[in-house]
Amino acid sequence: VITIIGVLIALLLPAVQAAREAARRMQCSNKLKQIGLALHNYHDVWERLPPCDVGGMRAHQDFQSGWNWQPRILDFIEQSAAFAQLDFKEKSWVGTNLVYIQTIHWEVLCPSNTLADQLKEEEGFCAGNSMPPISQSDYAACVGDYINMTGVGHTPAYGNITGTAVFETRGMIGRFGWSARFEDVPDGLSTTFMVGECIGAISFFQNFGAESFATTAHPINFMNEWLIANHDAACVCTAGTSTITTGHCGDSSIGFRSMHSGGAHFCMGDGSVHFINDNIDGATYRALASRAGGEIVKIP
């Protein structure tokens, strides 16, 4: 009898686990739908989407506020009280702002992420600079399909960038205070990524490569990053190796990734959410990230 019970448990356990993961995937999809709705409501008020970041490149510079797109939509995801406590004129890690960014916010966390309730160290500070651990988000804005390299175009296949490069925003949500209006998306809102899963991303502080944004330059669930050699504060890379020396701020390009087997969820410009398989054709995947690339694509 004990043997039979053991066999039954062994047969049932995978089915139970699969059912639980299916439920978590549905919850994750619903959270992205809420984010998509919030972004549409934000656009209705401000007539454009929120930018990924404002100000300069470095957290320790006075003109870098540390705010990105997510806190700006709190007023549209039933978090009006929290939104009212934030002071966007101050840096995100000081005063009452710090209390908020060190609070776990389940509305931007995937249920499948077992480490979601942990604070995360910010990545991207030069030696001698630091800030407290902060809460995570599992959803990142899509800023486009690649880092533009002068005279080259698309980044090389999954390798470090060692030449001159300039970050070019081709997605719906932009960088350095810029972002798109819906009328700036001639490729079509229904076939352009707006936000996608990026497990363990930085929720509130945004530094270049700090994961509140991602690109489709990497395949889905490609867990490595491209280091940009000898990156400086002007967002220009000079020729060099990918080695980051002590005291130098090394940056990287981040791809979308999830805890779900086989792919990740994406919210399109029209607010719909789709699960994109990680074996999607690379050209199609990149085309879905550009707002005005002129490509004609269908969501696979």
Please spell the DSSP secondary structure of 53-119, one letter per residue: --S-S-TTSTT-----TTGGGGGGTT-HHHHHH--TTS-TTSHHHHHHHTS--GGGS-TT-TTTTS-
Q: Is residue 296 part of a domain?
A: no
pLDDT averaged over 10-residue windows placed end to end, the chain, 300 residues: 78 76 90 96 94 50 61 87 83 78 80 74 45 76 66 38 51 79 94 88 39 77 51 36 35 73 94 94 90 88
Evaluated on CA atoms 140, 254, 215, 233, the torsion sign reads positive
| Residue 194 within a domain | yes
**Residue 299 placed within a domain:** no
3-state secondary structure of 135: coil
Pair 258, 199: CB distance under 8 Å: yes
Q: Look up residue 86 and give its two tokens.
A: 């934030």
- The CA distance from 248 to 199, in Å, is 26
| Predicted pLDDT at 65 | 63
Sequence-separated (6 or more) residues with CB below 8 Å from residue 14:
none
Answer yes or no: is 202 within a domain. yes
Q: Which DSSP string do the residues of 235-286 spell out, in sequence order?
A: SEE-S--SPPPTT---EEE-B-B-SSTTEEEEEETTS-EEEEETT--HHHHH
Strands 136-142 and 213-214: parallel
Query: pTM for this structure?
Result: 0.76
The encoded tokens of residue 118 equal: 């942990």
Helix (H, G, I), strand (E, B) or coil at 41: helix
Which of 100, 165, 111, 175 has the alpha carbon at shortest distance from 138?
111
Structural domains in the chain (count)? 1
5-16 b/e with 16+ CB inside 10 Å = b? eeeeeeeeeeee
Interstrand relation of 148-149 and 165-166 (parallel, antiparallel or unpaired): antiparallel
Evaluate whether residue 300 is within a structural domain. Answer: no
Q: Is 295 inside any structural domain? A: no
Inside any domain, residue 70 = yes
State the pLDDT at residue 45. Answer: 95
- Extract the tokens encoding 292: 């005005």
Residue 292 belongs to some domain of the structure: no
Decide: 58 and 194 in contact? Cβ < 8 Å: no
State the residue range of the domain holding 209: 2-287
